[in-house]
Amino acid sequence: MPFTRRKFMASGASITAGAALGLAPFRTHAEITLGDIRLDVVSDGTLTLPSSATFGGLPQDQLAPIRTKYGLTGDVITPPCNITLMRRADRTILFDVGAGSDFMASTGQLLTSLDALAVAPEDVTDIVFTHAHPDHLWGVLDDFDDPLFPNAAYMIGQVEWDYWMNPNTVDEIGAERASFAVGAQRRLAMLEDQISFINDGEEIISGVAAHATFGHTPGHMSFEIKDGSNSVMVLGDCIGNHHVAFEQPAWIAGSDQDGEQGVKTRLALLDKLASEKTQIIGFHLAGGGMGYVDKTASGYAFVAGE
């Protein structure tokens, strides 16, 4: 099923091979039209991480040719942060809000990206969270700790909310992620009067259904946006990159809080997406984040949209 409409825009130089590795500038964005639904993928910038954050603990002999194939042989990786903007009639919906200015210097570009599409924070009517990790949630507050999107209603998975708001989580999540729990609790508490909770299979907005994709976090959700027989799946981080997660989906990812559950979710979802040829938008996938899943002889492959 081809994209109804797909557009790339770049400021200055044309998109080069760097874009294929997820290194395109944040001003690049991609667009799909599904009936009267318009989807734009805008950028919050990129993460800047040691390669061990993704590749640590994996079988290095089998990993080496994958890293070479995708040009990821250095000590640092810079996965993109792709945020889905949905517009339909009088609704303007964001799926996640990026990291804001508090997480790392290479993120926090969402408002600039939205401004390029003439979308102001006041225009956003709904914010839907896939999960509460910093690069998806922390951008919800401005520099004065006020909600950045003053007219928005918020939605998050019930399981995800319960996990992050549990006072024991900060002590149980592990030292490396303790700041994630503190940051999530503070921001979610600010939204408590404006947030509603999602469960698996619910239609949360007309044409948008929630799907439980647990593992990356305990209550991670993905969202299927549908018009007639055409659909797009907003993945969040349940398929966390365009290389190892596709080529070796049975490998436990260090970024998943429950690695074994993450594998089960990933394998089932990749099989379904490949067989149904569903369009996908991945938060950390390359080339604007949009594409398809192809089944290969040994695993799967991410095919960026045409």
The C-alpha atoms of residue 77 and residue 23 are separated, in whole angstroms, by 9
How many structural domains are present in the chain? 1
Residue 246 resides in a domain = no
pLDDT of residue 13: 26
**270-283 burial, b if ≥16 CB within 10 A, otherwise e?**
beebbeeebbbbbb
Residue 238 resides in a domain = no
Of 273, 269, 265, 267, whose CA–CA distance to 303 is shortest? 273
Residue 124 resides in a domain = yes
Residue 190 resides in a domain = yes
The C-alpha atoms of residue 267 and residue 41 are separated, in whole angstroms, by 25
pLDDT of residue 29: 58
pLDDT of residue 305: 78
The C-alpha atoms of residue 58 and residue 235 are separated, in whole angstroms, by 23
Low-confidence ranges of the chain (pLDDT < 50): 1-28
Residue 247 resides in a domain = no
DSSP state of 68: H
pLDDT in tens, 155-210: 999 999 999 999 999 999 999 999 999 999 999 999 999 999 999 999 999 999 99
CATH code, 104: 3.60.15.10
Distances, alpha carbon 169 to alpha carbons 162, 181, 214, 218, in Å? 10, 7, 17, 11
DSSP state of 15: P
The C-alpha atoms of residue 4 and residue 289 are separated, in whole angstroms, by 16
The parent domain of residue 174 ranges over 17-232+284-289
Q: What angle do CA 280, 56, 291 make, to 5 degrees?
A: 10
**163-172 burial, b if ≥16 CB within 10 A, otherwise e?**
bbeeeebbee
Residue 265 resides in a domain = no
The C-alpha atoms of residue 283 and residue 304 are separated, in whole angstroms, by 13
Residue 114 resides in a domain = yes
Name the pairing type of β-strands 153-157 and 195-198: parallel
Q: What angle do CA 36, 39, 44 make, to 5 degrees?
A: 160
